[in-house]
Structure 1
């Protein structure tokens, strides 16, 4: 089930208050992804994103996805506190209404040379399609997802193969995360064949399961970018996101 966010010209997969599970542009619109040449502290990143979006003639409500970097994995309480701080700007921009958040997000923690504070890596926003690429398939961004089942309960209760980083444990974690990506893609009516980029975040060697769990399922059709980083909550070990975005720039 998806929901429209008319003010941003995109639809989204409802999830939790801090982010949606994905955003897809409305017909006649495309997504532009903007990556910073270096990580930018959160407040400055929001300010620069606003400047870029407005310079493109778009409202701030067109902000549809972001990719963040944090110093280290959070405790559950720490993650909740960070998220409550993060959504304040989205509320000011007219995006977060207090319960529903249409913005897709990834937030991971580089293992080597992490930022000193939570920072922006990239953001995405919708804009009118320029006609240079087919709009038969909508541009989309699927939010980061790790090996935690949905529903009630603490992370230790929901993490697949909790604290098990054995070969079999990692295989099950990767398989679960790939299936979660497929479920989110399917919510929009898409599959791996529509993606233009796939990213994985882990400090573990997942090469032994890559052929069966990723390549043969079609997830690596455009290659796969591995970020040597941890998911945002302690004891999560593998995260992924993916997208179909034709317009990407670095600033």
Structure 2
């Protein structure tokens, strides 16, 4: 069930300490997505984001989503260490309270020309708006079931590269996107952007697992990148954002 983050003028789907499963702007507000023309290392990116949000006349708590790029897939231990570092700034901004994190996130690893350190690709924040059209960002999700078990025990078709396994991976991930959309009362028909992340050819699964279910109503942006944890092979995110800029 979605929770309210009043300080940021949005609600969110609770997930894990490092991110939420999605953020939706409250009535009277909209989400603006800002993509950087070049990747910015984490510290520089946070500073640039803070300046941009303040210049827009908004508090730092308006920060509601981000898209990261990392040098390579993490081990489970390495991923947790990175996340503990990442949330320090969110704590300083009054967003992360030590347990609950309302900020949606995607974090993937470009296979070619990756950054030398974790970096920002894009971010989103809420701002006042007269539009009545909703806006939201659904966080990245890969083919791993929920729970506290290790990733090898939760990954769908673990280390199975067969065509049938790939259909299962895409089907599961698309289903998770649908579950998160439904938490906000939306579906694929409401999205304005869908992104997929993989270094494998998953085109044989596109028609039945994505196109027929309406996921590609606005097309698909494919990034040649891996999900952030070793042995995950496919990730997606989606959004409805009417204001997008590149800086």
TM-score interval, normalised by the smaller of the two chains: over 0.9
Q: Deviations over 1:53-87 (max 9, x none)?
A: 00000000000000000000000000000000000
1:215 lines up with 2:211 in the alignment: yes
How far residue 152 of structure 1 moved from its aligned partner, in angstroms, is 1.8
Match of 1:110 in 2: 110
Q: What is the rounded CA distance, in whole Å, between the counterparts of 2:49 and 2:157 in structure 1?
A: 38
Match of 2:132 in 1: 135
Match of 1:2 in 2: 2
Match of 2:164 in 1: 168
**What are the ranges of 5 or more consecutive residues in structure 2 without an aligned counterpart?**
none
Match of 2:84 in 1: 84
How far residue 166 of structure 1 moved from its aligned partner, in angstroms, is 1.1
How far residue 165 of structure 1 moved from its aligned partner, in angstroms, is 1.3
Alignment of 1:40-79 (within 5 A): 40-79=40-79
Q: What is the rounded CA distance, in whole Å, between the counterparts of 1:109 and 1:165 in structure 2?
A: 19
Cα RMSD of the aligned pairs, angstroms, is: 0.6
Match of 1:179 in 2: 175
Structure 1 residue runs of 4+, over 6 Å off? none
Q: Which of the residues 233, 239, 244 maps onto 1:237?
A: 233
SS at match of 1:181: helix
Q: Which of the residues 240, 245, 248 maps onto 2:244?
A: 248
Q: How many residues align?
A: 247
How far residue 233 of structure 1 moved from its aligned partner, in angstroms, is 0.1
**TM-score using structure 1 length:** 0.98
**TM-score using structure 2 length:** 0.99
Q: What is the rounded CA distance, in whole Å, between the counterparts of 1:107 and 1:135 in structure 2?
A: 30
Q: What is the rounded CA distance, in whole Å, between the counterparts of 1:87 and 1:166 in structure 2?
A: 37
Q: What is the rounded CA distance, in whole Å, between the counterparts of 1:169 and 1:47 in structure 2?
A: 42
Q: What is the rounded CA distance, in whole Å, between the counterparts of 2:155 and 2:147 in structure 1?
A: 11
